Amino acid sequence: MSSRKRISKAYQTAPRISFNDDSKFIIFSDCHRGDNSFADDFANNRNIYFHALQHYYNEGFTYCELGDGDELWENTDFKAILEAHKNVFELMQKFFQEDRLHRLLGNHDMVYKRESYVKKHLYTYFNKITGKEDPLFPNIIFTEGLVLQHEESGQEIFMLHGHQADWMNYHGWKFNRFMVLALWRQLQIFGIGDPTSPAKNYRELIKVEKRLKRWIIENDNLITIAGHTHRPRFPEPHEIPLFNDGSCVHPRSITGIEIEKGTISLIKWQIATTPDGTLKVIRKLLEGPQKLADYQAN
């Protein structure tokens, strides 16, 4: 199956969600939540991420996580991830309970494609205090794509992880996972990254972006938001509308995309120092806000 067909399949099978100019969405991806070990890249930014997500929960945003939320290549046991970042999952649980959480599949959490795995590990968790199985994300569904459709204009926004444009990370993910477990996880302590990852390999990154852009052109310049490459992208209205929310494992910061009041923005959350020497987590606008209506389909 070609990258075109894989991306098209993700679009055609994606759930459709209606939205309007009063709707609010925050889009993150590539959190790579781990077990809080030396190999857990998310651990460095977990306080920033939690503060940002708490802000979006309080402000009534819907959270869309575009894959690779959980690092299930370096970790084979989700239980260890849950215990390491319990406060994060409790906050995500609040979004879920209010029907404000959508999670997509990425190559690093492709095991969520198996309903039996999701049912076993994510529907419930063992509560050490009560000694019982308590609900976590009961009946949660992971999809390859998600489409927002504006109630008035009919304009669509297509979201996917982006590994659909990467043959080895789509069909060969089991081999890549084996290599990470057997080799790259151990080398990561010495600063050696996985060369198969578009986030670490610039040539692979460009290939993925070119394939996504080609698909967008062939599909009437449909606004598309992806992750996977970890490189934030925010095109101008006259450019091919391929957006990328970046990742939550940048050094000392996380990036994401906000959709609010009929506009789209690229944002960053980071730790800043105030004049009196206090450290605080702040939101920084990187690009936008740009009206969604300015990205007209051909």
Chain segment 186-234, per-residue pLDDT in tens? 555 555 555 555 556 678 889 999 999 999 999 999 999 999 999 999 9
Average pLDDT over residues 116-134: 91
What element of type H or E holds 265? strand 263-273
Predicted pLDDT of residue 203: 81
Is the preceding peptide bond at 135 cis, omega within 30 degrees of 0? Answer: no
Q: Where are the alpha helices (DSSP H) in 158-244?
A: 167-170, 173-179, 185-187, 202-218
Inform me whether the pLDDT recorded for 80 exceeds 90. Answer: yes
Q: What is the pLDDT of the chain when averaged over all its residues?
A: 91
Rounded to whole angstroms, how far apart are CA atoms 226 and 66?
Answer: 7
Q: Collect all residues with Cβ–Cβ distance below 8 Å to 271 and sequence separation of at least 6.
A: 48, 252, 253, 279, 280, 281, 282
**Residue ranges per structural domain of the chain:** 3-294
The proportion of the chain whose per-residue pLDDT surpasses 70, expressed as a percent, equals 89
- The C-alpha atoms of residue 102 and residue 152 are separated, in whole angstroms, by 22
Q: Are 269 and 284 in contact (CB under 8 A)?
A: yes
Q: Higher-confidence residue: 274 or 8? A: 8
pTM exceeding the 0.85 threshold for the entire prediction: yes
- pLDDT score, position 204: 83
Section 105-109 average pLDDT: 95
Which pLDDT score, from 0 to 100, does residue 179 have? 67
**What average pLDDT does range 145-157 have in this prediction?**
97
CB 66 within 8 A of CB 227: yes
Give me 12's structure tokens: 């055609």
Provide the token pair at 291. 């009206």
Closest CA to 208 of 255, 248, 159, 167: 167
Tell me the two tokens of residue 34: 């781990």
Nearest-angstrom CA–CA distance, 101 and 65: 8
The CATH T-level fold of domain 3-294 is: Purple Acid Phosphatase; chain A, domain 2 (3.60.21)
Mean predicted confidence (pLDDT) in 161-174 = 79
Average of per-residue pLDDT across 257-267: 98
pLDDT confidence of residue 39: 80
